[in-house]
Amino acid sequence: MPTADGHLARVLADFRAGKVRGLARAITLVERRDPLTRQLFEALGPPAKSPLVIGLTGSPGTGKSTLGDAIVALSRKAGLSVAVLAVDPNSPFTGGAVFGDRIRMQRHALDPGVYIRSMGARGHLGGLSVASREAVRLLAAYGFDLIILETVGVGQSELEVAGIADTTVVVMAPGLGDGVQMIKAGIMEIADIFVVNKADLPGYERTMQEIRSMQNMGPKLAWKPPIVATVAARGEGVAELKQAVERHQAHLAASGEGKERRRRRLEEEAADLVAEWSRVAARKLVQEDPKLRRRLENEQAPYGVAEAILKEQGARLVPGVSSKEKPK
């Protein structure tokens, strides 16, 4: 049986040598929420450079994957290395690719400057945002210039995932009529740029108009998200989208909001990690510790036990430092 430490050492060696296998295995550790994850990041240290992270979100079928592909093509022409991370909170762990992305991967299979990966999360105790942030961090450490983060839909966890990006692009398409739904879902707030894709189909102007009037109903913002029309399937409008992303990046830098966002993201990541670590460890504790079980039974309420776990078990909730020696 291979030991966990042996596995980590191999993953690290491959990763540092720039072997895709190392990257893929590292992301699988993250996806599975493996306790080795922490050692992995400690060993890697902070990434040397911070790539641009573009989030693509929107209802299924609007063309996010197609658009992502078009962005990859454009960026490759400019000599940038690109990673695409497709995140699906409703899929089980994929350990690699879901069907649609496998087809995409084949298209870029011979290009070492492109990496495409799906990540699922069903069965996670925590949300997907911790895993997604960590996967992005791995892709950054590996050295990609651009990371495209694609989410499957617009539920709460997709919004969280989109919040990891430097620039969040909300992709819409004509005829889906999801305007009101968007407002309800909180999409207006997270969009840095709107894309109306499938501009080859009738009705796209109306969709653009709908977004514009929703923007006019909302508060006045320092950055008014531009609306870009694209035909992703033909690569049209993608250069305009790239320009919009650059303008947004310039705004983030000039206004100081970029720095503020990065700070907030780290704060959220720290809090999310606390939640994830304690949830996993606490669940085990309440199932295995007869004292805690008795207390729950007696009190018929969770508060005393929850407080006791945090107070008395604090350090033991951290994965990898509970029972055995502290990992190096």
Ligand X SMILES: Nc1nc2c(ncn2[C@@H]2O[C@H](COP(=O)(O)OP(=O)(O)O)[C@@H](O)[C@H]2O)c(=O)[nH]1
Give the nearest distance from C-beta 292 to Mg ion in angstroms. 44
Block residue for tokens 């960026």? 75
208 contacts which partner out of ligand X, Mg ion, none, CB within 5 to 8 A by kind? none
- Cα angle 209, 213, 215 (rounded to 5 degrees) comes to 115
CB 167 within 8 A of CB 245: yes
Give the span between the Cα atoms of 158 and 151, in whole angstroms. 6
Strand partners, 119: 87
Strand, helix or coil at 150? strand
Nearer to ligand X, 37 or 62 (CB): 62
117 contacts which partner out of ligand X, Mg ion, none, CB within 5 to 8 A by kind? none
Give the nearest distance from C-beta 64 to ligand X in angstroms. 3
Q: Which of 65, 81, 167, 230 binds Mg ion (CB under 5 A)?
A: 65
> Which residues of the shown chain bind ligand X in the complex (CB under 6 A)?
60-66, 197-198, 200-201, 231-233
Nearer to Mg ion, 33 or 104 (CB): 104
**Tokens of residue 82, six digits:** 């690109």
**Cα separations (Å) of 288 from 35, 139, 198, 267, 319?**
19, 37, 54, 32, 17
140 contacts which partner out of ligand X, Mg ion, none, CB within 5 to 8 A by kind? none
Block residue for tokens 């699922």? 120
Give the nearest distance from C-beta 116 to Mg ion in angstroms. 11
Select from 34-42, 65-73, 117-125, 224-232 the region that touches Mg ion (CB under 5 A).
65-73
Give the nearest distance from C-beta 309 to ligand X in angstroms. 41
Select from 58-66, 105-113, 118-126, 262-270 the region that touches Mg ion (CB under 5 A).
58-66
CB 295 within 8 A of CB 319: no
Give the nearest distance from C-beta 235 to ligand X in angstroms. 9
Give the nearest distance from C-beta 62 to ligand X in angstroms. 4
94 contacts which partner out of ligand X, Mg ion, none, CB within 5 to 8 A by kind? none
**Tokens of residue 150, six digits:** 């694609």
Give the nearest distance from C-beta 238 to Mg ion in angstroms. 16
Strand partners, 236: 231
Nearer to ligand X, 24 or 169 (CB): 169
Q: What DSSP line would sit under 316-327, residue for residue?
A: GGSTTSSSSPPP
Nearer to ligand X, 171 or 292 (CB): 171
x/- mask, Mg ion, residues 231-270, rule CB under 5 A, reads: ----------------------------------------
Give the span between the Cα atoms of 305 and 291, in whole angstroms. 10
231 contacts which partner out of Mg ion, ligand X, none, CB within 5 to 8 A by kind? ligand X
Give the span between the Cα atoms of 186 and 156, in whole angstroms. 9
Give the span between the Cα atoms of 228 and 171, in whole angstroms. 9
Strand partners, 116: 84
Site residues (CB under 5 A) for Mg ion?
64-65
